[in-house]
Amino acid sequence: MVYHTEPGKVPSLESIFKDVSKLQAKHGLNTIGYWVPDNSAAWKDTFVYLIAHSSQDDAKKELDALHADPAFLPYRNAAVPLIEKVNGVFHVDEVFMHPTDFSAIK
């Protein structure tokens, strides 16, 4: 997942995800890591995280469970004003990938 934030809002979104990470684990999401850019102008307003799922169906089930958890709502509400919108739609890139046969992480 790549979240594109409003200018300068990456630290605030990072703070929210620090707490959300506990809920992600509760719902079986195997988060590999979270990243923020160092000194790249093109990526300065992005927050990236990677989750391993056994399938896209499992990803949907796990994410749906997280989003349905009442404990998640305050975090979602706090994140809404931080995420950039393009034509009224949150600017979030969700990409499903699979490892190459030579990848160290499978």
| Interatomic CA distance for residues 36 and 16, integer angstroms | 13
Residue 2 contacts residue 83 (beta carbons within 8 Å): no
Can you give the pTM of this predicted structure? 0.89
Task: For each of the domains in the chain, give its residue range(s) and CATH number, in order of start.
Answer: 13-93 (3.30.70)
pLDDT per residue, tens digit, the chain (106 aa), is 999 999 999 999 999 999 999 999 999 899 999 999 988 899 999 999 999 998 999 999 999 999 999 999 999 999 999 999 999 999 999 999 988 999 998 7
Q: Cα dist. 48→36, 70, 71 in Å?
A: 6, 24, 22
